[in-house]
Structure 1
């Protein structure tokens, strides 16, 4: 029996692990572990997760740190952190790709050998920690990768348009499949794969003038997961688009022949960001416009998306990220409402096995990468612990969300 199959709702947390080490004119490297001082405070941070009752922690291995040059591997920092997981009794669910590659991979996801480089990293990680780590998320939020690195030309390799979206999705999907199959070869039946993607709803002019765009973006939101699970055939709504981007019969057949499945399908849902407002004058590339409160679907949207992913992929589902960026009392209200929604779904027979508040402590907005202001100007108040600037660095100070999370995590239902 898998650890999540005991009938309980399992509570976990995440530490924001966006890594985009590339920099250039007007662009700083974005490494959330550096910004939040997690590289220095990891021992304390894992203790904080355990202290509020988290059973698992979504945590990323920084590929650019452990593999700084071709054939060079430096594991000492990760070794210490993984050992600490065992000390505090929190289960690591390992993120392997959270938006960035090492600097030496030119053109990042557009490099022709990206899938094999990524699979090599995944297999080496699985081999090194085979005695202690068995839960993996190969690629976090492939939809956001494809939008920001492909369609919107916002992050490296800065492709653009529908073709850019497709090319990033195809590269990610191939790397995803090779990584998961490689990890499974190392760990056998002990391996558990938590697939995680951002989720997307629509409001406003959905059935009128924006009907075609809604249909395209809805299909795009599932594209990478559809590819890795072998669901892209001649009847798929993006089949013609993928072929126009270079996906031939052989490549699409390869995905079907080498399909991998989620043991758990992770859904990331943010009530103020996961709904795309379809109105004239709104930029319709997910992630750049916050439509709240006009489009905020709240727990209704959360329940709809969890049902959608459970039905589409036929696996147990987990809420793998959620929160609101606001004052502690607003965060507590969303925590209570979203936990109640998840419990309702379970009562109705939807196989929801986990709930994840993201993140454990505050993080810094991705726009920091293109800003010139100090990090404190980009702080996002999202966590159970506030990040507070002090002469000695960033203190972690508990706020009321920590106590409320501990309350929910202690409920055995």
Structure 2
């Protein structure tokens, strides 16, 4: 059931600048966060994680979530009404492993194509089958086999593919700090999980190429790292953090090499693996939310944006003062997106494929979400400034279409352009927010 709300798009006297012809506009979601229908798939590491008391702040699970599995025609109608070119969703590996699991994605892709919305599937968005482990090298080969099955089934209608979403967060939050599934606290011993995900990406690119795919990328999260001061200790800490969050996951893909000192910490024949990891890409997906201010370690454990940061880390994350924040406490700094993209353009040069912003969004309460409108307005303008500066950006996807299960935060954080009434699980009523109407009008003006 969709309840419609009239909206008045802001910015008529100061319209969003025009992007180049063919620029791809879309929205993103992920399977575990919206699909529900847990009884129709295998268990994932997130099912195991959320079953443990205390892991999710509100004690919830994604067993029903937005019930997108059963309500996908309603959600595709929302996409069509919004006027986006493309929909980035993820395919649940545990669902594909289940009998008739791919039938759901067949139906979803057909529905999208009939609505004139391009399907852009992500093949892994953190919901690893519970029997597998990214610390095991074999998982990369298992992933490639799964990708081949999906590509064979959907490749006649899907042109644009994303292999893996945010291996940085899945490694750091899931394997190093224990905030996300599978809940390990290995700190730097989590590095093999990063390497094996990157290797899985490379093997997936090979599998997709073998299936005839010609438009393949990855979705990596990135943001500028700002030193807390110009003191040497803060500069060194910020440099280390930048390596850990940015270069560790971009350099192998784009340069075919790990940053200095990383390769010797990884298992296996790293040089041979890097040849696979650096398989050429057709686009490079960037998930951007905020910059990070980093200084020398302060010797105390802190909670930063819902993430426990232990005292023994060789850096400390500091508050960025003087800027607004989202309901999640994340700083709102649109100009940092321009800085990030121009910095990537300078660092990687002709090794950098065309960029697609595969996620950008914010958490705010309320249906009349003027803060989200201001956030998106500022970031789209910042993106346009990067294009004007010579960065080859081909698309922009808002996170997210729907309010959803926000991982360890449960249902407490709302990123959607569409409000979902989780208080009434019988209906899960969808209500387009003010930001939905605003974005619809922006896209109409883009032509």
TM-score, normalised to structure 1, is 0.84
Secondary structure (helix, strand or coil) at the match of 1:92 reads strand
Does residue 136 (structure 1) correspond to residue 161 (structure 2)? The answer is yes
Does residue 324 (structure 1) correspond to residue 366 (structure 2)? The answer is no
The Cα of 1:297 is off from its aligned counterpart by 5.8
1: distance between equivalents of 2:69 and 2:256?
A: 39
Secondary structure (helix, strand or coil) at the match of 1:390 reads coil
C-alpha distance 6-205 of structure 1, shift in aligned 2 (>3 A)? closer
C-alpha distance 132-173 of structure 1, shift in aligned 2 (>3 A)? same
1:16 and 1:32 in contact (8 A); partners too: no
1:2-401 equivalent positions in 2, closer than 5 A:
7-18=21-32, 20-23=46-49, 24-26=51-53, 27=55, 34-68=64-98, 74-105=101-132, 108-154=133-179, 155-156=181-182, 158=184, 160-164=186-190, 166-187=191-212, 190-205=213-228, 207-208=230-231, 209-220=233-244, 221-232=246-257, 236-237=259-260, 240-247=261-268, 250-256=269-275, 259-271=278-290, 274-278=291-295, 280=298, 281=300, 283=302, 288=307, 294=321, 296=331, 298-311=333-346, 312=348, 313-327=351-365, 328-368=369-409, 378-388=411-421, 389-390=423-424, 392-401=426-435
C-alpha distance 110-58 of structure 1, shift in aligned 2 (>3 A)? same
| CA-atom RMSD in angstroms | 2.8
1: distance between equivalents of 2:407 and 2:229?
A: 28
The Cα of 1:260 is off from its aligned counterpart by 1.3
**After alignment, is 25-34 or 359-368 more displaced?**
25-34
1: distance between equivalents of 2:24 and 2:301?
A: 38
C-alpha distance 230-115 of structure 1, shift in aligned 2 (>3 A)? farther
2: distance between equivalents of 1:9 and 1:59?
A: 19
1:163 and 1:245 in contact (8 A); partners too: no
Higher relative contact order (CA 8 A, sep 6+): 2
C-alpha distance 149-346 of structure 1, shift in aligned 2 (>3 A)? same
The Cα of 1:201 is off from its aligned counterpart by 2.5
2:202 and 2:277 in contact (8 A); partners too: yes
The Cα of 1:405 is off from its aligned counterpart by 0.6
Provide Cα deviations, 1:38-66, integer angstroms capped at 9, x if missing partner: 12211111111111111011101111111
1: distance between equivalents of 2:397 and 2:104?
A: 25
The Cα of 1:333 is off from its aligned counterpart by 0.7
Provide Cα deviations, 1:77-128, integer angstroms capped at 9, x if missing partner: 22211111111111111111111211232xx212331001111111111111
* Alignment coverage as a number of residue pairs: 385
2:88 and 2:122 in contact (8 A); partners too: yes
C-alpha distance 194-408 of structure 1, shift in aligned 2 (>3 A)? farther
TM-score, normalised to structure 2, is 0.78
The Cα of 1:198 is off from its aligned counterpart by 0.9
The unaligned stretches of length 5 or more in structure 2 are: 1-18, 34-45, 309-316, 324-330
C-alpha distance 332-10 of structure 1, shift in aligned 2 (>3 A)? same
1: distance between equivalents of 2:306 and 2:248?
A: 17
The unaligned stretches of length 5 or more in structure 1 are: 369-374
2:25 and 2:85 in contact (8 A); partners too: yes
